[in-house]
Structure 1
Amino acid sequence: MPGKTFQETIPSGRETGEGAGNQDIAGRHGPRCIALTGPFGSGKTTLLEAILARTGAIPRQGTVAAGNMTGDASAEARAHGMSVEANFAETTYLGDRFSFIDCPGSIEFLAEMEGVLPGVDMAIVVAEDDERKLPALQLILKALEAQNIPRMLFLNKIDREARGVRAVLDTLQPASAVPLVLRQLPIWEDGRAVGFIDLALERAHVYHEKEESTRIDMSDHDRVRELEARYTMLETLADHDDDLMEALLEDIAPDPGQVFGDLVREMQDGLICPVFFGSAEHGNGVGRLLKALRHEAPSVAHTRKRAGLGDEPRVQEVLKTLHTPHGGKLSITRVLSGTVADGDVLTDPRGAENRVSGVFSLLGQQVSKRGPAQEGELVGLGRLDNLMTGDCLSGKAQPSSGARSYPYPVLALSVRAGRRQDDVRLSAALAKLTEEDPSLIVRQSQDSGEMILEGQGEMHLRVAQEKLTGKFGLVIETGSPAIPYAETIRGSTQVRARHKKQSGGHGQFGDVALEISSQDRGEGVAFSDRITGGVVPKQYIASVREGVLEALQKGPLGFQVVDVAVCLTDGSYHSVDSSDQAFRMAAIQAMREGLEACKPVLLEPVLKVTIQCPTDVTARVNAIVSARRGQLLGFDARQGWEGWDEVQALIPQAETFDLIIELRSASAGVASYSASFDHMAEVNGKAADQVLSRTGGQAAA
């Protein structure tokens, strides 16, 4: 039974302070891996620093202001004062080994968090009493829920709270699909949280700055508060435990082991999200959180089962790829089963064998060589050049694939080397960037030939540019990607053109008559002929078609011509001077003359856009769409997302370049969208004039 197991593991009277514990169970669960998640600015990196200082992994706790923290040590993170990539650190607490992954909180780097989740045992969600960050918290929790990650919530900055924690929980609860279960109560003194009451252990503790708390006697007033809050906690647990429900109904005090067992089981099964609190900056609540992780975090066996890996004897999951300045490529890997050592051969999902060149431990930017990695450990594996983030490796052929999907890119830049000699270096650097961060996409535009870098927002692409210039030492130039405009015709005409040239010897002669007419939008280009009597020999008709298609590549307005039908109706030839080249040139001349007379009109691509946003900003989103020449198709509640809407609209592609910047500004940084090509539409008036003035074309009359 869960209660019996927990009693055996955590005997009563086991601790005298926040950080004390029994050594007899040290290491029972094996190394565990914990993700630190939460909205931007909630204090995740500070919490990691406090944990590392409390456990002795670092000599003292650094601060964001001083720029001396273990996490966020990259130049880009410190320049912007925010996490821009996952940070890794390992430590030991009372004999148990833990790896922590500090994940960025901005939606622009959310893929960093989602990428490491398959290899973690559970997550700590760091939050604060800020209603403006509720949608961002919901994004984080939804990502965890989607991958069935067990989670605890750490309510940070308790020293700044202006209201009770239960009121805060009422605010935060809509962001979570499962109940937020309060595990502690603050002890207040002069409006300041000076300690906490553990609702599971029914004990009170007082904080000490960046040190272990000590146990104190509970006041009569706090005892009343504790009984009320504890009963609420038990009621929630009883929703999944009939025996506990029966005990509560009969007013029987439940067995402590049963309570602890339910807390562990229901958290690990994703039925509840326990809530702890403290102040990462001051080190308050950190010891109690570590104690909970030590006794309640799932083991790697639970994670294997969650991933459907069963009892495979040897499996490693590549969570992230790094390119280090001196050590080359480093694959950050969670050992889900078995061991891995220097020189081992691992099989990737494509069936290729890869030899490990060094096993490394991780502490922020510090990478040091170590011995073999055991089951449950998070390590770096050196120089596995063929591996990709998401690969699931094994010691046998054909392991399961770790293929992942990444969010739709919402912002794009054209990128080119500032120095011609750097073209090859730029391509190599972009390849490494996308290896490190697969949510960055690099593609070559088929229309303009530009190199396009796509990402999750303004900061995401800014950091990528800073890495290109700082980490890779490149000079780059960026701009807005070209819009694939096109043109078509409104009218029709008949035109005849003759290409004739005599310059001694054989000359050139080709004569064609063409009918040019418009087609319905999206029908493309059609070529046909009505030649009779051999006035244009059959062997030259293909050359006429070739000339027609060549002329359509650039019409009178300067763009590719689409949705046009061309028919070869008549012509003539010379038995000596006619040739494929002559008929091709005649067709080009006829098309250029004919298209000018057919009332050319500019076309632009229109995208079907789905915008996800909090309901309270839907009206502002609608206004943004309308201001960008968009057509609103409607909106509805976002399925499975309380307090969110989805807005459907048609928006010209030219108006979507910086759309995400305005959407994020209107939604506290959480709105996003996806888009797909819908149709080509005519552009008239001022909008057409602006496009043609930039490209050197002339508006149609």
Structure 2
Amino acid sequence: MAITSNGKGSAAGSAPRCIALVGPFGSGKTSLLEALLARTDKVARQGTVANGNTVGDASPEARAHGMSVELNIADAEFLGDRFVFVDCPGSVEFLSEMDGALSGVDLAVVVAEDDERKVPALQLILKALEARAIPRVLFLNKIDKSTRRVRDVLSVLQPASAVPLVLRQIPIWEDGLATGFIDLALERAHVYHEKEESTQIDMSDADLAREHEARFTMLEHLADHDDDLMEALLEDIAPNRDQVFADLVNEMQDGLICPVFFGSAEHGNGVSRLLKALRHEVPGVDLLSRRVLGTTSRAMLQVVKTLHTQHGGKQSIARVLEGVVSDGDTLFLNGDTEIKVSGLFSVFGQQANKIATAGKGDLVGLGRLDDVQTGDLLSFENGKIESLQVLERRNPVLATAISAKQRKDEVRLSAALAKLVEEDRSLIVSQNQTTAETLLAGQGEMHLRVAQERLAGKYGLDIAANTPHVPYAETIRSGTKVRGRHKKQSGGHGQFGDVVIEISPLPRGEGVQFSDTITGGVVPKQYIPSVRDGVLDALGQGPLGFPVVDVSVCLTDGSYHSVDSSDQAFKMAGILAIREGLPECKPVLLEPIHKVVIACPSDATARVNAIVSARRGQLLGFDARPEWNGWDEVQALMPEAEIGDLIIELRSATAGVASYTAEFDHMAELSGKAADIALQRSGRQAA
């Protein structure tokens, strides 16, 4: 492992700044992290994702799939300033990792590229930053592969951002390739060198004219929030350079603009200029404290990630907002529950290094805090804490029925699932009582696949994952009157129970009702509850093999034997009556129908509508998604059987960004071929 700082944390000196690297899948975040570490001499040689030798994406699952599936944390020092970089996955299926990280960062570097297909994914990222008021800059990566003018690329990306994307640089072109850049704030030109710092050069007359035009556009954006600058521009007075830099910093930190840098992470181009901007312009941890706690200044820590290591147990990754924390310190969870730190660690990639103390601004691992979860606040004082941030869980969009192949592993599976859910807040484990299945739900096919790989690799479990069963039910269309008699003689006391019941349908959603009209004691009062128990037991599985609902059962008559009658005999009589009577009541299959709201880019709405209709959905309409430029919400009623793998088709039709919520609405009759298919899939036969 590479050791952070000097093994003593950051209790003294300036507080490190914590920066999230975020952006769409494949935009080059992990490559940028590697370039930043190489440029700051934190690693001897810049690795590549293709070669599998980067500091980030070092877990077996990340290596296997060639993509980020979890947070990657690394620290570095540049010109005396310390930084902690948090590389966040870009796939929509792993964005919950970003959710936790954003609660503890000072600024986000949004990594994007010249690819308009990824604009909706970029908008997902920017929306999350805007909602949390996190300052941000955009790094336009892969400039060496871009075929368009930077301003044209920005016009494509701009709809994804609620605030102006403001160019801080323009490229120097040579034979169609970006060979360097012109800094619009410093008014200096630089030429790139492969994986080395750029060098300053003189500007040509053509580049000087381009610089004047682009700089004026930058100043116009800044002047929208600075009256003095606006007046200077109107009077054609050159603004003071210090004033320009102050406006760039203040307006970025206030979330009024998003400055744009560019380069090539793979070749190390533009990295030094980005580092210099971060050094001068990233706000300190005090701004984060105000975002989290308002005016409160009590010493505390914000938990951004939970890990379960194979040898070190549980670790809570936390940002120190104020104060100094040491191994063995007593902290308070959410201001009231006393906990004790058992181990303090710096984190670099996949490894942790034990340290003695950590100070303001540090991002560290706290050992064995069993009750602590991602999003929690830890304080040094007893007393209630009111956080301005709420870390919400993302709605699951795909589920699998999971089980241990060997019965002896069932307890281990439950424990491993509990740890997975602690590490990843977007995984949800639930028990379906109707189908008797354990369901693991998450954000998509790859998300669940990675979770299963961790169960197998990290916890050594041999598991089975299957498509969940749909909780069908059945009801009746007509009624009947039937007698159920249980009579058995086997020497000594026999068994005798005799009942007459009336079965009739109820309106949809009424459930099961049991009543009696017994008079004259033909069925003694003490046996009526047993009849009810038998009826309910028998309704648990009807003629089609599913629970029976929306049925009224009335006990109207019967007989008993003074010696042979018993609770068990009358319970059996109730069971026999239901089993004999239900097939005469025209049983029909019921399927659960859900109210579904699908969020998608507007240009994909027609495709989404077609998908819904092809899956037996009833379209209710669509409208613009509130506060989302260029997005719609499609509302529909859909059978649960058609929702199971819906997200796979939706993501395919929307460049991987669609999502949906589903809520049970009602049960509906299912007949004909669709019913036959449902019965066949469930292992039943059509009646």
Q: Fold-level match, TM-score > 0.5?
A: yes
Which amino acid letter does the alignment assign opposite residue 551 of structure 2? V
Counterpart among 379, 390, 399 of residue 385 in structure 2: 399
2:278 corresponding residue in structure 1: 293
8 Å Cα contact 2:99/2:391 also seen in 1:
no
8 Å Cα contact 1:29/1:299 also seen in 2:
no
Whether 1:107 and 2:99 are equivalent positions in the alignment is: no
1:303 corresponding residue in structure 2: 288
Q: Larger deviation: 303-312 or 411-420?
A: 303-312
Per-residue deviation, 1:309:
4.4
Per-residue deviation, 1:403:
5.5
Whether 1:515 and 2:499 are equivalent positions in the alignment is: no
8 Å Cα contact 1:348/1:399 also seen in 2:
no
Which amino acid letter does the alignment assign opposite residue 342 of structure 1? D
Q: Larger deviation: 560-569 or 447-456?
A: 447-456
8 Å Cα contact 1:607/1:652 also seen in 2:
yes
Per-residue deviation, 1:634:
0.8
Counterpart among 646, 662, 665 of residue 633 in structure 2: 646
Whether 1:552 and 2:552 are equivalent positions in the alignment is: no
In 1, Cα distance between equivalents of 2:361 and 2:204: 43
Counterpart among 467, 474, 484 of residue 480 in structure 1: 467
Q: How does 1:473-622 map to 2 (within 5 A)?
A: 473-622=460-609
The runs of at least 4 consecutive aligned structure 1 residues that moved more than 3 Å come to 398-403, 694-698
Counterpart among 241, 258, 281 of residue 226 in structure 2: 241
8 Å Cα contact 1:36/1:100 also seen in 2:
yes
Q: How does 1:104-143 map to 2 (within 5 A)?
A: 104-143=89-128
In 2, Cα distance between equivalents of 1:371 and 1:132: 47
Counterpart among 59, 63, 74 of residue 89 in structure 1: 74
Counterpart among 654, 657, 661 of residue 674 in structure 1: 661
Distance 1:350 1:498, change over 3 A: farther
RMSD: 1.4
Which amino acid letter does the alignment assign opposite residue 181 of structure 1? V
2:156 aligns to what SS in structure 1?
A: helix
Distance 1:551 1:662, change over 3 A: same
Q: How does 1:409-424 map to 2 (within 5 A)?
A: 409-424=396-411
8 Å Cα contact 2:335/2:379 also seen in 1:
no
8 Å Cα contact 2:518/2:557 also seen in 1:
yes
Whether 1:221 and 2:190 are equivalent positions in the alignment is: no
1:427 aligns to what SS in structure 2?
A: helix
1:184 corresponding residue in structure 2: 169
1:315 corresponding residue in structure 2: 300
Distance 1:166 1:61, change over 3 A: same
8 Å Cα contact 1:344/1:355 also seen in 2:
yes
Unaligned runs of 5+ in 2: 1-11
In 2, Cα distance between equivalents of 1:343 and 1:533: 76
8 Å Cα contact 2:335/2:378 also seen in 1:
no
Which amino acid letter does the alignment assign opposite residue 324 of structure 1? T
Deviations 1:363-384 (A, max 9, x none): 1112111231110111111222
8 Å Cα contact 2:335/2:381 also seen in 1:
no
Whether 1:324 and 2:309 are equivalent positions in the alignment is: yes
8 Å Cα contact 1:347/1:399 also seen in 2:
no
In 2, Cα distance between equivalents of 1:187 and 1:42: 22
Per-residue deviation, 1:351:
2.8
| Number of residues of Structure 1 aligned to a counterpart in Structure 2 | 674
Q: How does 1:36-115 map to 2 (within 5 A)?
A: 36-115=21-100
2:184 corresponding residue in structure 1: 199
In 2, Cα distance between equivalents of 1:76 and 1:188: 40
Counterpart among 270, 274, 280 of residue 259 in structure 2: 274
Q: Larger deviation: 33-42 or 690-699?
A: 690-699
Per-residue deviation, 1:353:
1.9
Q: How does 1:360-379 map to 2 (within 5 A)?
A: 360-379=345-364
Whether 1:152 and 2:137 are equivalent positions in the alignment is: yes
In 1, Cα distance between equivalents of 2:99 and 2:684: 46
Q: How does 1:320-469 map to 2 (within 5 A)?
A: 320-349=305-334, 351-397=336-382, 398-400=384-386, 404-469=391-456
2:7 corresponding residue in structure 1: none
Q: Larger deviation: 683-692 or 73-82?
A: 683-692
1:655 corresponding residue in structure 2: 642
Per-residue deviation, 1:158:
0.7
8 Å Cα contact 1:558/1:695 also seen in 2:
no
8 Å Cα contact 2:325/2:357 also seen in 1:
yes
8 Å Cα contact 2:469/2:682 also seen in 1:
no
Which amino acid letter does the alignment assign opposite residue 272 of structure 2? G
In 2, Cα distance between equivalents of 1:234 and 1:696: 69
8 Å Cα contact 1:37/1:126 also seen in 2:
yes
In 2, Cα distance between equivalents of 1:521 and 1:566: 15
In 2, Cα distance between equivalents of 1:449 and 1:684: 25
Per-residue deviation, 1:696:
4.5
TM-score by length of 2: 0.96
In 2, Cα distance between equivalents of 1:648 and 1:666: 17
Deviations 1:492-517 (A, max 9, x none): 11111222222332222222111110
8 Å Cα contact 1:90/1:98 also seen in 2:
yes
Deviations 1:30-75 (A, max 9, x none): 2110000000000000000000000011111001111100000111
In 2, Cα distance between equivalents of 1:185 and 1:690: 61
Which amino acid letter does the alignment assign opposite residue 305 of structure 2? K
1:390 aligns to what SS in structure 2?
A: coil
Which amino acid letter does the alignment assign opposite residue 339 of structure 1? V
8 Å Cα contact 1:556/1:697 also seen in 2:
no
1:298 aligns to what SS in structure 2?
A: coil
Per-residue deviation, 1:585:
1.2
Unaligned runs of 5+ in 1: 1-26
In 1, Cα distance between equivalents of 2:468 and 2:70: 26
In 2, Cα distance between equivalents of 1:48 and 1:593: 70
1:633 aligns to what SS in structure 2?
A: strand
Whether 1:170 and 2:155 are equivalent positions in the alignment is: yes
Which amino acid letter does the alignment assign opposite residue 235 of structure 2? E
Per-residue deviation, 1:690:
1.8
In 2, Cα distance between equivalents of 1:331 and 1:353: 15
Per-residue deviation, 1:692:
2.1
In 1, Cα distance between equivalents of 2:14 and 2:164: 26
Which amino acid letter does the alignment assign opposite residue 643 of structure 1? G
2:325 aligns to what SS in structure 1?
A: coil
Per-residue deviation, 1:84:
0.4
In 2, Cα distance between equivalents of 1:515 and 1:96: 82
